[in-house]
Structures are given as C-alpha cells and as structure tokens.
C-alpha cells in the first residue's frame, strides 16, 4: 500500500500518538508527532472540544494535523466523566472512579479524531461498549486498567489486541477510509 503524504498528530499525550501511529501504519498512513499543549475548552461536547483543539493546532503549525479527544461515559453516573475524563483522571484517577461505582458498571469509550488542513475540518467518531472492572488490572495508561470491552474478560490494559478494537481504532478507521479516498 502506498504511504500517504505526511500528517501530524498533535497532542501532549505521547501514548495517544503511539497508539494512533500503530493503527494508521496498518492503513498505510504515515503519522508524525508534534508535542504541544493545545487550548482545551470545558464543554459537554467532545466534538466541540476536538474541533477547537484542531483549529488551535492548525493555527500553531500550519500543517495537516490530527487531534483526538475522547471520553469514558459511565451509565450509572449519568455519563460521568464523559468530556471531563482527562480532568477527572488527573484529580481522582482510576481508584476514584472505582470508588464511585456500586452495582451497574456499564460504560462506553468514545473517541473523536479531528482532521484539519488549510481547507478541511472534519471529525470522525469511534465508540466501544463495555464495563468498568472491580479493580485495576494490567499496566496500561489512562482508564485502560479499568475498562473491559464488550465480549472480553480483560481490561484494555491486559489485551494484546487493543489497537484492533478500541474506540480510537474505530475513529481512525473511519478517518483512514475518508483520507485515503481523498488523497
């Protein structure tokens, strides 16, 4: 498969970049990293957050970019932490999430990948359903040690195939289809 022209993933989170790079490599898309802290608004909409981050990233670098925003939505607590997942992780972490939950542990992970260049601003969604484990398992980053995807008994942190099933994979798969057909 022909490698595409250079595209940059802009984030302060190298783990997100590493995962995105592995996934996009499988679609023949070359991805480079620009480490940057982007302006991130507080909003109930992951799309709004990702769109404004993409505009900020493009304004800074003037290159074709991808940004990602994602959230863990837990049904029994009204979709919390949702678009506030990063802040909640920094303040109460996985232990705090585990302490909040009693019986119902249904959850979903949502990813919004946003592409921006000189003329296009486009969002691509991905989602996976699952539940929150009773304790942390595995050595992954973020919420990976507590999220068990549907049809699995292991957390994302314990799975070797996370890159092939995650919310980020689904969003990047949608992006790849669009991107490769527009090259």
What's the CA gap between 164 and 5, in Å, rounded?
23
Residue 145 reports pLDDT greater than 60: yes
DSSP-derived 3-state class of residue 119: coil
Q: Annotated catalytic sites, by residue? A: 69
Strands 106-116 and 121-132: antiparallel
pTM: 0.92
Contacts of residue 139, defined as CB under 8 A and 6 or more positions apart, other chains included, come to: 145, 157
Name the DSSP class of 153: S
pLDDT value at position 1?
Answer: 34
pLDDT per position as a tens digit, 148-165: 999 999 999 999 999 999
Long-range contacts of 49-56 (CB under 8 A, 24+ apart): 49/83, 49/112, 50/112, 50/113, 50/114, 50/123, 51/114, 51/121, 51/123, 53/10, 53/114, 54/114, 54/115, 54/116, 54/121, 55/116, 55/121
Q: Residue 152 in contact with residue 130, Cβ under 8 Å?
A: yes
- What pLDDT, in 10s, does the model give residues 85-136? 999 999 999 999 999 998 899 999 999 999 999 999 999 999 999 999 999 9
> Which segment of 36-40, 77-81, 122-126, 174-178 scores lowest on mean pLDDT?
36-40
For helices 14-26 and 167-181, give the axis angle rounded to 10 degrees: 50
- Domains in the chain: ranges and CATH: 7-181 (3.90.950.10)
Mean pLDDT of 29-44: 93
Whether 2 shows a pLDDT value over 80: the answer reads no
């Amino acid at each position: 498969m022909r490698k595409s022209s250079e595209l940059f993933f802009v984030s302060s989170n190298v783990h997100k970049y590493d995962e995105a790079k592995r996934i996009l490599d499988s679609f023949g898309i070359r991805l480079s990293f620009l480490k940057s802290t982007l302006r991130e608004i507080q909003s109930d909409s992951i799309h709004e957050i990702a769109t404004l981050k993409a505009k900020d990233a493009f304004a800074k670098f003037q290159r074709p970019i991808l940004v990602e925003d994602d959230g863990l939505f837990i049904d029994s607590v009204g979709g919390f932490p949702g678009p506030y997942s990063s802040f909640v992780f920094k303040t109460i972490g996985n232990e705090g999430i585990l302490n909040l939950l009693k019986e119902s542990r249904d959850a979903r992970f949502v990813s919004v990948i946003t592409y921006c260049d000189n003329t296009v601003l486009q969002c691509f969604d991905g989602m996976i359903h699952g539940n929150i484990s009773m304790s942390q398992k595995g050595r992954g980053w973020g919420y990976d040690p507590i999220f068990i995807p549907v049809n699995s008994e292991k957390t994302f942190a314990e799975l070797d195939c996370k890159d092939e099933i995650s919310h980020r994979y689904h969003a990047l798969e949608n992006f790849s289809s669009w991107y490769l057909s527009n090259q």
